[in-house]
């Protein structure tokens, strides 16, 4: 999923975040988006043709409201040239695989590498999502949790298992990546850069003030810890 972030007032009270869902075709990522944005599950849903768009609102911390704009990209090979054009403005997203499909899991590294290559030199924030967790009770699981967590650790991202059918962990997955982008902005891992739409800010001074305040607090805490250790 691709993300662009925009601060639209003079403080850090409102942001816009654009997220992109990435996975091979027919894996249920559109069902995940439908469940999160509308709390609906449809037995049948049309395959994404090119790119679909969804919107949702989230408060990442008290007083910080985020407008999430979701770009759902088609997984079919014939649409790859279209979806690749959206990668450059990505600042994060969900890498989705089907827990009942070994082949989909083996495509994760490919999707991850492709997005990272397209957005360089910008930073991309990811969450790995194992979907269709409801099928585990039917003995359909093809990828173990341990293996998925190992891959997520190797790629430097958290892992979560979801089900659009039951709603299990769907909200957590989307909000996890949104909060990772927000924390990246505060820590400096995610940078504002002119000419790049992945992250936009109408009031960059507010972000700079927040970062400086956090840096001072961290420095003070480190000094206090050092003093306590040497006492």
> What are the pLDDT digits (tens) for 123-167?
788 999 999 999 888 888 999 999 999 999 999 999 999 999 999
Q: What is the pLDDT of residue 9?
A: 37
pLDDT band at residue 109 using 50, 70 and 90 as cut-offs: very high
Q: What is the CA radius of gyration of the chain?
A: 19
**What is the helix, strand, coil percentage profile of the chain, to 5?**
45, 25, 35
Q: Which domain holds residue 167?
A: 5-230
Cβ atoms of residues 50 and 82 within 8 Å:
yes
Number of domains in the chain: 1
Peptide bond into 121 cis (omega under 30): yes
**Rounded to an integer, what is the distance from CA 15 to the centroid of its chain?**
15
Half-sphere exposure at residue 1, Cβ-oriented, CA atoms within 13 angstroms: 37
Strands 5-7 and 64-73: unpaired
CA distance 12 to 65: 9
pLDDT band at residue 231 using 50, 70 and 90 as cut-offs: low
CATH assignment at residue 43:
3.40.50.300
| H or E stretch at 71 | strand 64-73
CA distance 181 to 43: 32
pLDDT band at residue 186 using 50, 70 and 90 as cut-offs: confident
Q: What is the pLDDT of residue 188?
A: 81
Per-residue pLDDT tens for 60-95? 878 777 777 787 765 544 445 555 666 676 777 889
DSSP 153-208: HHHT--EEE--TTT-TTHHHHHHHHHHHHHHHHHHTSS---TT-TTEEES-HHHHH
């Amino acid at each position: 999923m691709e993300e662009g972030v925009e601060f639209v007032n003079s403080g850090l009270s409102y942001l816009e975040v654009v997220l992109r869902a990435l996975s091979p075709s027919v894996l249920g990522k559109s069902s995940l988006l439908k469940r999160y944005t509308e709390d609906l599950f449809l037995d049948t849903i049309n395959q994404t043709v090119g790119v679909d768009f969804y919107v949702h609102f989230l408060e990442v911390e008290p007083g910080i409201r985020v407008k999430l704009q979701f770009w759902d990209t088609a997984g079919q090979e014939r649409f790859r040239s279209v979806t690749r054009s959206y990668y450059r403005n990505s600042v994060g997203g969900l890498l989705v695989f089907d827990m009942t499909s070994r082949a989909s899991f083996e495509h994760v590294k490919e999707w991850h590498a492709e997005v990272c290559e397209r957005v360089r030199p910008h930073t991309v924030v990811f969450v790995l999502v194992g979907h269709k967790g409801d099928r585990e009770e039917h003995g359909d699981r093809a990828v173990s949790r341990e293996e998925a967590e190992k891959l997520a650790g190797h790629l430097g991202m958290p892992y979560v298992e979801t089900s659009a059918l039951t709603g299990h962990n769907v909200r957590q997955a989307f909000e996890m990546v949104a909060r990772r982008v927000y924390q990246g902005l505060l820590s400096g891992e995610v940078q504002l850069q002119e000419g790049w739409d992945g992250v936009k800010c109408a009031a960059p001074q507010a972000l700079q003030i927040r970062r400086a305040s956090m840096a001072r607090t961290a420095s003070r805490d480190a000094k206090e810890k050092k003093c306590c250790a040497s006492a």
